[in-house]
Amino acid sequence: MNGEESSLRPQSLLLTFLGDQVLGRDVCVYSGSVIDVFERAGIGEQATRSTLTRMVKRGLLRRQREGRRMYFGLTEHSTAVLRDGEHRIWQAGAVNRDWDGTWTLLGFSLPESWQRQRHDLRSKLTWSGFGPLFSGLWIAPGEVDVSDLVSELGLSAHVKVFRAHADAGMDIGAMIEETWELAELASRYAEFVRRWQPWETASPEAEEALVLRLRLQAEWLQIIRRDPRLPVKHLPDDWPAEQAEKTFRAVHARLTPLARDAATRLLDLVPVRPDQT
């Protein structure tokens, strides 16, 4: 690739790989095929095997033995994670032009000794598009359902959620700049364009295209999952998300035929057997 490669965890790459090759097909993939593809991506066999084992323990993968070979497939948990990512990439997109003026406000008050719970809540709120309006009051654009998030953390009694609209005199643009790290997010989008735009016209070999598309999708998902999808009309005029999304789609379309050809030749897939875990 041109320029520096972004930092991607093996688990992120593996989930992306499975979402691309396994999701919706009721198949499992041979561990040796995964190792082969990941070695082409610069990830060693031991790291790949460790990631597979760790993801099984976390309930993100299922194992299925066929003779002397071990195959891996998706669980309900990983399928839900990948469907969410699929929606973020292809339906929601990176640019929010449909905002209706609604905000979701979440207030919480936790005992001082609950440092871990406070950290977990803030992390999940950030992942769900919230930013800290004040220390115990967080805000997100649109109507965000946080019931599962709050219930999972066992904090239902300590959290209050409201839907709200800003007063006419409210400077929403200034509020956004104070609440979210716009400069960091813009830098991520700009770097994505710089790194991937040359591939809009490049012609890689099929095996390279398979690895490139894997990294392309993983990097793009990593960025947009950190993007709260703020209303575009309240963002700077030169906001780079739209250009980054155009680059993503153009490169993805160019790499896909070659990547599919390589996957057909390199991957050993078998149907899912319901009796396996």
Tens of pLDDT, residue by residue over 6-26, are: 567 899 899 999 999 999 999
Residue 42 lies in a domain: no
Residues 194 and 147 placed together within one structural domain of the fold:
no
Domain that holds residue 201: 181-266
User: What pLDDT does 2 receive?
Assistant: 44
User: What integer is the mean pLDDT of 45-72?
Assistant: 95
Q: Specify the CATH number for the domain of residue 111.
A: 3.30.70.2360
CB proximity list for 200: less than 8 A, separation 6 or greater: 247, 250, 251, 254
Full DSSP string of 6-64: PP--HHHHHHHHHHHHTTTS-EEEEHHHHHHHHHHTT--HHHHHHHHHHHHHTTSEEEE
User: What pLDDT does 4 receive?
Assistant: 42
Which is more confident, 106 or 168? 106
At 92, the amino acid letter reads A
User: What integer is the mean pLDDT of 246-266?
Assistant: 96
Choose the final residue of a domain: 134, 165, 196. Answer: 165
User: What pLDDT does 7 receive?
Assistant: 64
Q: How many domains does the chain divide into?
A: 2
User: What pLDDT does 276 receive?
Assistant: 58
d(CA 93, CA 242): 9
In the chain, the percentage of residues whose pLDDT exceeds 70 is 96
User: What pLDDT does 3 receive?
Assistant: 38
Global confidence as pTM:
0.88
Is the pLDDT at 213 greater than 90, yes or no?
yes
Choose the final residue of a domain: 112, 134, 165. Answer: 165
User: What pLDDT does 277 receive?
Assistant: 55
The pLDDT confidence band at residue 185, using thresholds 50, 70 and 90, is very high
Residue 96 lies in a domain: no
User: What integer is the mean pLDDT of 79-84?
Assistant: 92
Residue 5 lies in a domain: no
User: What pLDDT does 184 receive?
Assistant: 94
The token pair at 249 is 């789609």
Residue 248 lies in a domain: yes
Residues 198 and 229 placed together within one structural domain of the fold:
yes
Residue 252 lies in a domain: yes
Residue 53 lies in a domain: no
Which is more confident, 93 or 113? 113
The pLDDT confidence band at residue 271, using thresholds 50, 70 and 90, is very high
Yes or no: say if 212 and 262 are a contact pair by the CB < 8 Å rule.
no
User: What pLDDT does 274 receive?
Assistant: 79
Supply the mean pLDDT for the chain.
92
Residue 186 lies in a domain: yes
At 169, the amino acid letter reads G
Cα 89 from chain centroid (whole Å): 8
Residue 60 lies in a domain: no
The pLDDT confidence band at residue 1, using thresholds 50, 70 and 90, is low
